[in-house]
Structure 1
Amino acid sequence: MTTINERQECMYHAALMKIFALNGTMALGRAITDDLRIALADHEERDFEGGEHKLRPLVSVRGKDVFIVHSLNGSPEGSANDKLCKLLFFAATCREHGASRVTAVVPYLAYSRKDRQTKTRDPVTTRYVAQLFEAAGIDVVVTLDVHNLAAFQNAFRCATVHLDTRKLYSGIIANLAGAERTLILAPDAGGIKRAQLLREYYERLSGNEAQLAFMEKRRSGGVASGHLFAGDAEGANVFIIDDLIGTGRTMLRAAEACRQRGANAVYALATHALFDRGCEAVLAHPAIDRTIVTDSASPFNIPEDVLRNCVEVVGSAPLFSEAIRRLHSGASLATLSGDDQ
């Protein structure tokens, strides 16, 4: 039961803070505001012939601490570019109409994979996106499990808050692995740090030991290659960890390698379920016992039976609501990363 003090606190925060969720991320926005015990602020979105659009808040934002929840994955509601443009325009509108601070809560940040030049005359799109955010007057960017944390932090001159899924996934691993031998696997060398941090948090949480492994992967022209496998999967419950799952081929490649090396069970854990065309066959493949993802890129563009039978969805709203609560109150953000020490 909500106490009088809690109700008064919710009313106080609602008066000073406005949280909007743009179309395509409404379900996650409602989950966040439900957790904070305040109402989602009303806004209008209108699409015009020719592809142009208009967004505006339907409540006053003058002097308010404004949070805009919008995930930038391509979906039936719009491409990544459409969603990016709408987020920027809405943030600029709130700034123009007197918001005291504008925070973009972006569960999936588009273009975070293109953070460096890998071919001659390549773009560094991560940095360009950061410049667009800053030009729109966004003060803070909150996101979840970016592809490369150092590149993300270096790209933005405004304040950034990076959340990760260590707390969410460590408990799941503990429940699935039990007392059996546990192996946490990075499906490519770039994910070793992510796997290492998850392993450390899992060991602190469960008191059980976990081993670390990684698999070599080189990608050129959309084709992945490399066969080096560092780690012992024999008889282990293997948890493959990655920041996102698109077609799923990287996960399947690693899962099959684990099966060939005698793994007892294989689980694929990915934060952002982009679920690109053709992923259904991978999700249902017998090499993977279960795919576990967050709702950062929901609603998902896959058949309902595949989602129900092959995928477990973990809610990310508590991570974002806690970040918003601390940002609004000026509390410390230090432990949000999963480092409680």
Structure 2
Amino acid sequence: MLFFALNGSQTLGARVAAAGGYAVAAHEERDFQGGEHKSRPLVSVRGRDVFVLHSLHGDGVASANDKLVRLLFFLATCREHGAARITAIVPYLAYSRKDRQTKPQDPVSSRYVAQLLEAVGVELVMKFEVHNLAAFQNAFRCRTVHLATQDFFAAHIAAQNSEARLAVVSPDAGGVKRAQLLREALEARIGGEVSFGLMEKRRSAGIVSGSLFAGEVKDRVVHIVDDMICGGGTVLRAARAVRDHGGRSIHVLAPHGLLEAQTFQDFCASGVIDSVTVTDSLAPLAHLPAEPPDWFRILGCAPLIADAIDAVHRGQEISLSVACAPELVDNRQ
């Protein structure tokens, strides 16, 4: 097999390769005047099982659009030169949030991205914690692998809270299934009961509303789980509601940390969140302060991705079970 990590994803790529016990294959990316570019593998891909890692988020250096095009061109190049099978590993997949029509004449951008990946010959798309699992699976006609994070985060929570009474909260109705799966994984790991909560949320024209909260969180250590954090407003609303309902401490979990500089300031100013934990699916984080606050943690997801790559290459079932708590990583480089 060959494993490539495109520019902008080399930090995570190096961690995946180290966890899997193989090297990152050499490739070249060149920019030309006028904004054009080319990329190519520097080793032969003919007859090889090729895995290409690229997280498709805008990071201040390259936009999501630019990263998507670079990934598509590189995958097509590998197909052009005889790769036996091509797997695209996209820990964060751009446009996944636009997976349905909510207004007249709306696009379904997630399906268009799927069609582009299929058009260049991708046979498998691997994604780390999707926004909407049904929409992700239905968008693709090629094989998909979803690396869910419930056991990953359950191992982390259990290691931090051996005796506390726990609760899991979804900050909106769309994340209920994700929160329920985390709750079940956590109950199985600690061998005890974990309560559940849900925050009402409605969004129209960029305005978020809704104030109803349901769930038992009083005197409990509460974990609010979402698939991503961007501006932070959604989890802040839920955190304030949990605090109003007597939560003992409040911790936010999200696989994808699309945090803005203002998000860190808002979290600090709120005084209601005790910790925020994301993964290094976006490596490095564009707006991470030079000295990250003590309450901000980054967990390494590379072993989970490396295990999935190995299983796919060997034609085995993928296991997402986590034996021990994920390790913290430094994502400033």
**TM-score of the alignment, normalized to the shorter chain, above 0.5:** yes
Take 1:115 and 1:277, find their aligned partners in 2: how far apart are those partners? 27
- Aligned partner of 1:124 in structure 2 is 108
Is the deviation greater in 162-171 or in 181-190? Answer: 162-171
Contact between 2:195 and 2:217, CA under 8 Å: does it hold in 1? no
> Does 2:312 align with 1:332?
no
- Aligned partner of 2:260 in structure 1 is 276
Contact between 1:283 and 1:310, CA under 8 Å: does it hold in 2? no
Unmatched 5+ stretches in structure 1: 1-16
Take 1:227 and 1:176, find their aligned partners in 2: how far apart are those partners? 30
Shift of 1:172: 1.6
- Aligned partner of 1:323 in structure 2 is 308
| Sequence identity percentage | 53
Name the aligned partner's letter for residue 186 of structure 1.
Answer: S
Take 1:124 and 1:337, find their aligned partners in 2: how far apart are those partners? 33
Contact between 2:151 and 2:320, CA under 8 Å: does it hold in 1? no
Take 2:149 and 2:291, find their aligned partners in 1: how far apart are those partners? 23
Shift of 1:304: 2.5
**TM-score calculated relative to the size of structure 1:** 0.92
Q: State the Cα deviation string for residues 132-183 of structure 1 (Å, max 9, x = none).
A: 0000111100001111000000000000000011122101211333222111
Name the aligned partner's letter for residue 267 of structure 1.
Answer: H
Number of residue pairs matched? 321
Listed as ranges, the matches of 1:125-274 within 5 Å are 125-274=109-258
Listed as ranges, the matches of 1:37-48 within 5 Å are 37-48=21-32
| 2:16 alignment partner, one of 32, 35, 51 | 32
- Aligned partner of 1:289 in structure 2 is 274
Listed as ranges, the matches of 1:69-84 within 5 Å are 69-84=53-68
Q: Higher RCO, 1 or 2 (CA under 8 Å, sep at least 6)?
A: 2
Contact between 2:8 and 2:54, CA under 8 Å: does it hold in 1? yes
Listed as ranges, the matches of 1:57-96 within 5 Å are 57-96=41-80
Aligned to 2:136, the other structure's residue is in SS state: helix
Contact between 2:150 and 2:181, CA under 8 Å: does it hold in 1? yes
Q: Say if 1:118 and 1:75 are closer, same or farther in 2 by CA, change over 3 A.
A: same
Shift of 1:336: 3.1
Is the deviation greater in 173-182 or in 46-55? Answer: 173-182
Take 1:277 and 1:52, find their aligned partners in 2: how far apart are those partners? 30
> Does 2:64 align with 1:111?
no
- Aligned partner of 2:299 in structure 1 is 314
Contact between 1:162 and 1:337, CA under 8 Å: does it hold in 2? no
Take 2:236 and 2:287, find their aligned partners in 1: how far apart are those partners? 17
Contact between 2:126 and 2:147, CA under 8 Å: does it hold in 1? yes
Take 1:226 and 1:303, find their aligned partners in 2: how far apart are those partners? 30
Shift of 1:282: 2.8
Take 2:95 and 2:163, find their aligned partners in 1: how far apart are those partners? 39
Shift of 1:214: 0.6
Name the aligned partner's letter for residue 105 of structure 1.
Answer: I
Shift of 1:308: 4.0
Name the aligned partner's letter for residue 315 of structure 2.
Answer: G
Name the aligned partner's letter for residue 291 of structure 1.
Answer: V
Unmatched 5+ stretches in structure 2: 323-333
Name the aligned partner's letter for residue 279 of structure 2.
Answer: T
Take 2:47 and 2:153, find their aligned partners in 1: how far apart are those partners? 38
Name the aligned partner's letter for residue 94 of structure 1.
Answer: C
Take 2:17 and 2:267, find their aligned partners in 1: how far apart are those partners? 31
Shift of 1:332: 1.3
Aligned to 1:150, the other structure's residue is in SS state: helix
Aligned to 2:313, the other structure's residue is in SS state: helix
Q: State the Cα deviation string for residues 197-245 of structure 1 (Å, max 9, x = none).
A: 0111111111121011111000011111111101022111110000000
Contact between 1:283 and 1:291, CA under 8 Å: does it hold in 2? no
Normalized per residue, the structure richer in helix is: 1
